[in-house]
Amino acid sequence: MGLYRVVVVVSYKKGLKDPEAETIYRDLILKHGYRAVKELRIGKQFTLLVEAEDSEKASSYVRELCDKLMIYNPVIHDIEVTVYS
Amino acid sequence: MKSFKEVAPEVEATVVWHKDFKSVNDWDAVVIPGGFSYGDWLRAGAIAARSEAVARLSEAVARGIPILGICNGFQVLVEAGLLRGAFLPNEHGRFVCRWVRLRVERPRGPWLKLAEDGVEVHMPVAHGEGRYYVSSDEYKELNSSYPIIRYIPEQNPNGSSYDIAGLGSRDGYVLGIMPHPERAVTPLLTPRGFRPGGELIFRSISRSLKSGW
């Protein structure tokens, strides 16, 4: 058993209107000349410290809890799970 | 409670704390009020939707007990999967509190018994996360056979998909509504140019419980 740091990022699906991201992109980033930025998305990050046999088990454990407890809503969100040992 | 007293005094209504909501058999109908639940952390209604009380509500749905979710109550019903769709923060990013005009389409079930198809009703909204979202495919199904309460187009206060303000289950036993019917039951507290539209819902459930729907 080891401890794994699992980072979950929940962001809005592409194509869904996200006024916060749009405003930051348009009125802050572009307005100040950072034209190389072509897209901005905003997400919520959860960092979990998980005890598991290996990193794959840590990942599937977290994915399961995200699905079952609806940490994200598949109707509107994408989810990204990354494990660090 | 006051709304029932005001427009349907024959209905006996009691406030029940969620932890005391032990059995669905004790009630003829359930209203989940607005406000906030668990700080609305994660998403509005998301944590409440996994609570024991809401698990019991699913039982109530299975038994055909009428359920009304107002504002945060609607968000809880959606997060619990008892109604379709999802909620997002308002499009303009601010809390919105004002009276709106709504149209009821395909009224059905106990909460809309006295509504005529297409009737216009007025009540106030008060929310920060009221932008209802549904995919276009799902919407096609909703729009063919579900009760829908819509903001009159130019009055959509939050950017909701298809101007949706409220939605029923297909049979209308479960109804969720973002605006507040309980704040629209007395002419004294209704601004000029509007009518208190909430009484329609409270009168409907009263009549339904007495004589069916």
Percentage of the residues of chain A whose pLDDT score is greater than 70: 100
Cβ contacts of A23 on chain B, cutoff 8 Å: 93
Q: Is residue A68 part of a domain?
A: yes
Q: Is residue A78 part of a domain?
A: yes
What is the tens place of the pLDDT at every residue in B160-209? Answer: 999 999 999 999 999 999 999 999 999 999 999 999 999 999 999 999 99
Nearest to B124 by CA among B195, B32, B36: B195
Chain B positions with Cβ closer than 8 Å to A: 42-43, 46, 49-50, 79, 85-86, 88-89, 91-93, 133-135, 159
Q: Is residue A74 part of a domain?
A: yes
Domains of chain B are 29-211 (3.40.50.880)
- Spans of chain A below 50 pLDDT: none
Q: Is residue A62 part of a domain?
A: yes
> Which string of b and e fits B166-204 if b means at least 16 CB within 10 Å?
bbbbeebbbbbbbbbbbbbbeeeebeeebebbbbbbbbb
Nearest to B68 by CA among B210, B206, B187, B185: B206
Element (H, E) at A82: strand A77-84
pLDDT given at position B42 = 93
Q: Is residue A31 part of a domain?
A: no
What is the tens place of the pLDDT at every residue in B51-74? Answer: 999 999 999 999 999 999 999 999
Q: Is residue A30 part of a domain?
A: no
Q: How many domains does chain A have?
A: 1
3-state secondary structure of B131: strand
Domain span at residue A73 reads 2-16+42-84
What ipTM does the predicted assembly reach? Answer: 0.80
Cβ contacts of B88 on chain A, cutoff 8 Å: 12, 16, 76
DSSP string, A4-41: EEEEEEEEEPTTS--HHHHHHIIIIIITTT-TT-----
Residue A80 belongs to domain with CATH number:
3.30.1280.10
Q: Is residue A48 part of a domain?
A: yes
Q: Is residue A73 part of a domain?
A: yes
